[in-house]
Chain A
Amino acid sequence: MTTAAAAVGERTGSVRPATMAQALGRALRDSMAADPTVHVLGEDVGTLGGVFRVTDGLAKEFGDDRCTDTPLAEAGILGAAVGMAMYGLRPVVEMQFDAFAYPAFEQLISHVAKMRNRTGGAMPLPITVRVPYGGGIGGVEHHSDSSEAYYMATPGLHVVTPATVEDAYGLLRESIASDDPVVFLEPKRLYWSKAAWSPEAPAAVEPIGRAVVRRPGRSATLITYGPSLPVCMEAAEAATSEGWDLEVVDLRSLVPFDDETVAASVRRTGRAVVVHESSGFGGPGGEIAARVTERCFHHLEAPVLRVAGFDIPYPPPMQERHHLPGVDRVLDAVARLQWEAES
């Protein structure tokens, strides 16, 4: 029994608290057990079990050939994964930290995203690229980037990010099973978030491409994903004392984007704030606000607002609390939704 499996109550099937990191590890393990073509590769994923221990126990259970410690070279890791996928394997690549993935961008954009298209559908690449992303863990520079906008801007990639323990398991299983490449963004600061969860009966999750309403409400919609979901949930609770009944939509998947669920929510509430921690300019919020405006213009009582990280390189860890959108900043935006034309 692997450490991750033990922690989430293998065999007993009991519902115990599990962390997101454990659920991710369990998803990898179950995918590998179910499909011998699933291979995990990356720097430190084997003996060490990954720097976040997500791959803990996999090398022991499945051997070095299935869970492989590679040389330290992200382009090489992803490039090799392309060749492995061309030969019928289903590689799951770990990028260790968000900013470490940048050397692999050419492989990702020129090959992973395009191979199905370049070959007229003859050669899809079922590759999952796991990227721990975002800040809030006190990491030094190059360990806290939110790079989702780069991935979103690349046709051919699915971009997925869980915010709950259940979704971490379910979305990762689905990503690995997908015949299309998936950039699987793991919110680092939620790795140790816990939920009562059983791997024997993982909660049924919506498929990739569907957003879900995490909290129903009537007076405004918070549109968010990944690390900002708990912030928005907390803000929604706090806002009740101000008379706001906020709906919180968890996107789960940035590509494909669930216009339907988002638009339906905003049409109900008439107001919307997009919340994410990556920089605002050229960021996901601009795209989302534009899509909402196009679909809900006549239902909107106020402009769609964005609460995002500042347009600065990710700050040093002692400053990051000022950069990351917190509950207060979300509440300030909600207050601004009392919008009047002359203001």
Chain B
Amino acid sequence: MTVQELPGTAAYRPTPPPAWKPLTDPAPLLPDPEPYRVLGTEAAAEADPELLLRLYAELVRGRRYNAQATALTKQGRLAVYPSSTGQEACEVAAALVLEERDWLFPSYRDTLAAVARGLDPVDALTLLRGDRHTGYDPREHRIAPLCTPLATQLPHAVGLAHAARLKGDDVVALAMVGDGGTSEGDFHEALNFAAVWRAPVVFLVQNNGFAISVPLAKQTAAPSLAHKAVGYGMPGRLVDGNDAVAVHQVLGEAVARARRGEGPTLVEAVTYRMEAHTNADDATRYRGDSEVEAWRAHDPIQLLERALTGRGLLDEERIGAVREAAERMAAGLREQMNADPVLDPMDMFTHVYEQQTEQLREQAARLRAELEAGHDESGAEERR
């Protein structure tokens, strides 16, 4: 089917000049009407056992990480934590599908993807603890800083992938964004640039149902978020975001496509945020228990566990070992997070410019004098 044959498009399209012809046939770009699934289908029997077990271990570890981080907010050890419980399949698949040389561009909810990629669990949390904006060297891990503004990291992923290709490097960038983020202008600009430049980028939209409290129906009128890809001239893929194998497969194909120089792909993973937006949010105000329960029956860990058990790849002993490893990770995280970070206030002035301006030197000297005099802002009350 060509563009002209699409129903309803002929009316507003001007008569093209003789040389004009459509560059793309949109049909191959369109997502399937239903999210792609592997688990629970016959295809599950063919999935690589090693990959299944690896995904499983990471899912369990991720779930435990989310629970531990949420507990740390209650103890005041984290300023805030946006949990990805329920979305672990997307997080883990995004991390595992990349080669070491590739880059990950996470949003603020994607701590887990960074950890699954190998980042130290504590280093991934410094932003949310409030001691350092980015607790790691992005170049060392090829993980961009967790991005708080919505969708603004997407054009970075495009620029980086473009630069890598210009340099002749075989590098793919995977950028993560939520359903709400797809409404932002930067989402549009990033997808457009990526498609025009045929940049080796994969966009992963985790459609978790809500942007804080706003449901998808109030976010977009598109048939699906994956459909948005067509307008940019890139394929859109719809996948069950709770099916770790399916997400890994779809992302894997998109990454391979990007690596072959065939350009970007938009993947929409349909999933659900089981917890509130963050610990500061009350999800009962905007959604009912029955909805949450329905999604609980479609839990990513249970889905994979069932498939693994069904194929005889998992038994109680193995499950116990995976849980134990996750528990050890959580205990280590707890222990390290319970130690107060040692901070040097002078660091605030160190990394604004390569060389401190005279003005910053003066301000740093003033703070140093205040500290040496033994008072700081929190002590101001007592002096009055």
Shortest Cβ distance from residue A108 to the other chain B in the assembled complex, whole angstroms: 11
Contacts of B49 in A (CB 8 A): none
Complex interface: stretch among A183-191, A255-263, A304-312: A255-263
Complex contact B133–A73 (CB within 8 A)? no
B189's partner among A75, A85, A110 (CB-CB below 8 A) is: A75
Shortest Cβ distance from residue A163 to the other chain B in the assembled complex, whole angstroms: 21
Q: B157 within 8 Å of A by Cβ?
A: yes
Q: Of residues A39, A79, A82, A209, which shows the largest number of chain B Cβ atoms within 10 Å of its Cβ?
A: A79
Complex contact A75–B186 (CB within 8 A)? yes
Complex contact A118–B133 (CB within 8 A)? yes
B161's partner among A76, A83, A178 (CB-CB below 8 A) is: A83
Per-residue 0/1 for B127-160: is the Cβ within 8 Å of any A Cβ (1 yes, 0 no)? Answer: 0000011100111100011000100101111111
**Known A65-B166, A80-B159, A86-B159; contact A180-B353, beta-carbon cutoff 8 A:** yes
- B100-140: which residues lie under 8 A (CB-CB) from chain A? 132-134, 137-140
Secondary structure call for the B interface: helix
Q: B351 within 8 Å of A by Cβ?
A: yes
Complex contact A122–B137 (CB within 8 A)? yes
Q: A124 within 8 Å of B by Cβ?
A: yes
A106's partner among B149, B159, B190, B358 (CB-CB below 8 A) is: B149
Q: B295 within 8 Å of A by Cβ?
A: no
Complex contact B134–A110 (CB within 8 A)? no
Shortest Cβ distance from residue A66 to the other chain B in the assembled complex, whole angstroms: 9
Contacts of B359 in A (CB 8 A): 256-257, 259
Shortest Cβ distance from residue B5 to the other chain A in the assembled complex, whole angstroms: 27
Complex contact A82–B159 (CB within 8 A)? yes
A83's partner among B158, B350, B352, B358 (CB-CB below 8 A) is: B158
- A308-339: which residues lie under 8 A (CB-CB) from chain B? none
Shortest Cβ distance from residue B156 to the other chain A in the assembled complex, whole angstroms: 4
Q: A120 within 8 Å of B by Cβ?
A: yes
Complex contact B193–A76 (CB within 8 A)? yes
Q: A116 within 8 Å of B by Cβ?
A: yes
Complex contact B358–A107 (CB within 8 A)? no
Residue of A nearest to B133 (CB): A118
- A84-105: which residues lie under 8 A (CB-CB) from chain B? 84-89, 91, 103
Complex contact A110–B156 (CB within 8 A)? no
A80 to B158, CA, bound (A): 6
Complex contact B354–A87 (CB within 8 A)? no
Complex contact A117–B352 (CB within 8 A)? yes
Complex contact A106–B152 (CB within 8 A)? yes
A239 to B350, CA, bound (A): 45
**Known A79-B186, A119-B138; contact A111-B152, beta-carbon cutoff 8 A:** yes
Interface size class of B (residues with CB under 8 A): 35 or more
Shortest Cβ distance from residue B23 to the other chain A in the assembled complex, whole angstroms: 15
Complex contact B167–A259 (CB within 8 A)? no
Residue of A nearest to B175 (CB): A83
A84 to B140, CA, bound (A): 16
Residue of A nearest to B160 (CB): A83
Contacts of A85 in B (CB 8 A): 159
Complex contact B193–A156 (CB within 8 A)? no
Q: Of residues B132, B149, B157, B186, which shows the largest number of chain A Cβ atoms within 10 Å of its Cβ?
A: B186
Q: Of residues B138, B158, B162, which shows the largest number of chain A Cβ atoms within 10 Å of its Cβ?
A: B162
**Known A71-B192, A76-B193; contact A158-B353, beta-carbon cutoff 8 A:** yes
Contacts of B156 in A (CB 8 A): 79-80, 82-83, 86, 111
Q: B185 within 8 Å of A by Cβ?
A: yes
**Known A76-B192, A119-B138, A122-B139; contact A83-B186, beta-carbon cutoff 8 A:** no
- B338-366: which residues lie under 8 A (CB-CB) from chain A? 347, 350-354, 357-359
Q: B337 within 8 Å of A by Cβ?
A: no
Can you list 24 A-B contacts with CB-CB less than 8 angstroms, sorted by A residue number?
A71-B196, A79-B186, A79-B190, A82-B156, A83-B155, A83-B162, A86-B160, A87-B164, A106-B149, A106-B152, A107-B152, A111-B152, A116-B351, A118-B145, A119-B133, A119-B351, A120-B347, A120-B351, A123-B139, A123-B145, A155-B352, A156-B353, A178-B354, A180-B353
Shortest 9 CB-CB distances between A and B: which pairs?
Answer: A83-B159, A79-B155, A76-B189, A80-B159, A83-B160, A87-B163, A256-B357, A83-B156, A118-B133
Task: Identify the A interface with B (CB < 8 A).
Answer: 39, 65, 70-71, 73, 75-76, 78-89, 91, 103, 106-107, 110-111, 114-124, 155-156, 158, 178-180, 209, 255-257, 259-260
Known interface pairs A116-B354, A123-B145; 6 further A-B residue pairs with C-beta atoms within 8 A, sorted by A's residue number? A65-B166, A76-B192, A119-B133, A120-B133, A178-B354, A180-B354
